[in-house]
């Protein structure tokens, strides 16, 4: 059976079927990579992946990044330092085996506080709760395309400060001094509108809201414009909501999406293994044709 590609929403995402990620030909991976550039989020159902399989598939997209520094540092399965555990499960000593717990994870782009953020992330479901824990993906190219001209003009070619103090669960990263002052917070400045390095398409690049700051504006002006942008992007027409099943693998492009997670019952188990692909270049500003 040939590979199938079924769009998930008009704004973002495609489900790829009839494929075994442990036995991909070069031609099949080329189709997958092209779909990733076009749709930003890839869903693969029913994949039986060991940690080695996950790493092998991940490396086809590029060099791997180490896991992010979360509230308990970098947490990986024994012997697999390039895999990051997302989980609320406790070990025999009562210590978390992973990061982010069972709470809500707010809209964000992975590790955008770095000068060169990761190109992609992928998440593989090993255990899921009976309800809750859904992940939402926002297509930031569609957001930029639909953004009113008045907001585009206000934003212009400005940059945005991306905060590295807090993770998406609201926890302070290990070894970081907490602050809500964007000028003192660790992080990087990136163009507010970035051109995708493979397609050239523009995307609004917000990163995350807390401690965010728009260059060249007063604090009040920055907050007001950011509030307008975040209110506009947080709309169903730009979003795909993923209901997880065991053995799902989702791959997303950090350069053209944001994502968030619903909370779930902490008495239920949720175990996910994640990898990320090292960024190749710094985010570059989109310059519209004259």
For residue range 204-237, what is the model confidence (pLDDT) as tens digits? Answer: 999 988 888 999 999 999 999 999 999 999 999 9
pLDDT value of residue 73: 61
Whether 289 maps to a domain, the answer reads: no
Whether 286 maps to a domain, the answer reads: no
Whether 145 maps to a domain, the answer reads: yes
Over residues 129-154, mean pLDDT: 97
DSSP assignment of the chain, as one string?
---EEEES-SSS-EEEES--TTS--HHHHHHHHHHHHHHSEEEE-S----HHHHHHHHHTTSPBPPPP-BTTB----TT-TT-EEEE--B-TTS-BSSEETTS-EEEE-TTTTSSS--SEEEEEEEE--SS---EEEEEHHHHHHHS-HHHHHHHTT-EEEEE-SB-TTSPBPTT------TTTS-EEEEESEEE-TTT--EEE----STT-EETTS-HHHHHHHHHHHHHHHSSGGGEEEE---TT-EEEEETTTEEEEE----TTS--EEEEEEEPPSS---B-----
Q: Is the pLDDT assigned to residue 56 strictly greater than 60? A: yes
Whether 94 maps to a domain, the answer reads: yes
Band of pLDDT at residue 71, cut at 50, 70 and 90: low
Residue numbers of the domain that contains 61:
4-277
**Mean pLDDT over each residue of the chain, to the nearest integer:** 92
pLDDT value of residue 168: 66
Least confident of 33-47, 93-107, 193-207, 240-254: 93-107
Whether 285 maps to a domain, the answer reads: no
Domain tally, the chain: 1
Whether 282 maps to a domain, the answer reads: no
Whether 249 maps to a domain, the answer reads: yes
CATH number assigned to the domain comprising residue 52: 3.60.130.10
Whether 72 maps to a domain, the answer reads: yes
Tell me: the pLDDT tens digits for 13-35? 999 999 999 999 999 999 999 99
Band of pLDDT at residue 290, cut at 50, 70 and 90: very low
């Amino acid at each position: 059976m040939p590979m199938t590609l079924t769009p998930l929403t008009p704004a973002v995402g495609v489900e790829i079927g009839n494929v075994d990620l442990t036995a991909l030909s070069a031609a099949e991976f080329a189709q997958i990579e092209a779909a990733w550039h076009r749709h930003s989020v890839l869903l693969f159902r029913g994949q039986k992946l060991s940690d080695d399989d996950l790493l092998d598939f991940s490396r086809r997209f590029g060099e791997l990044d180490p896991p992010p520094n979360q509230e308990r540092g970098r947490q990986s399965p024994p012997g697999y330092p390039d895999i990051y555990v997302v989980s609320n499960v406790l070990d025999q000593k009562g210590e978390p085996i992973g990061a982010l717990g069972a709470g809500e994870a707010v809209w964000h782009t992975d590790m955008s506080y770095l000068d060169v953020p990761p190109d992609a992330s992928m998440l593989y479901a090993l255990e899921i709760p009976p309800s809750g824990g859904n992940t939402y993906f926002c297509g930031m190219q569609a957001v930029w395309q639909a953004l009113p001209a008045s907001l585009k003009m206000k934003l212009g070619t400005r940059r945005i400060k991306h905060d590295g103090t807090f993770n998406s669960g609201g926890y302070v990263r290990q070894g970081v001094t907490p602050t809500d002052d964007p000028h003192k917070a660790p992080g990087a400045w990136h163009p507010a509108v970035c051109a995708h390095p493979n397609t050239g398409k523009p995307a609004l690049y917000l990163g995350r809201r807390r401690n965010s700051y728009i260059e060249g504006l007063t604090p009040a002006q920055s907050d007001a414009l950011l509030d307008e942008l975040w209110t506009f992007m947080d709309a169903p027409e730009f979003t795909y909501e993923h209901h997880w099943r065991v053995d799902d693998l989702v791959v997303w492009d950090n350069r053209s999406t944001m994502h968030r997670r619903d909370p779930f019952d902490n008495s239920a188990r949720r175990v996910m293994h994640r990898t990320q692909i090292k960024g190749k270049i710094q985010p570059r500003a989109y310059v519209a044709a004259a």
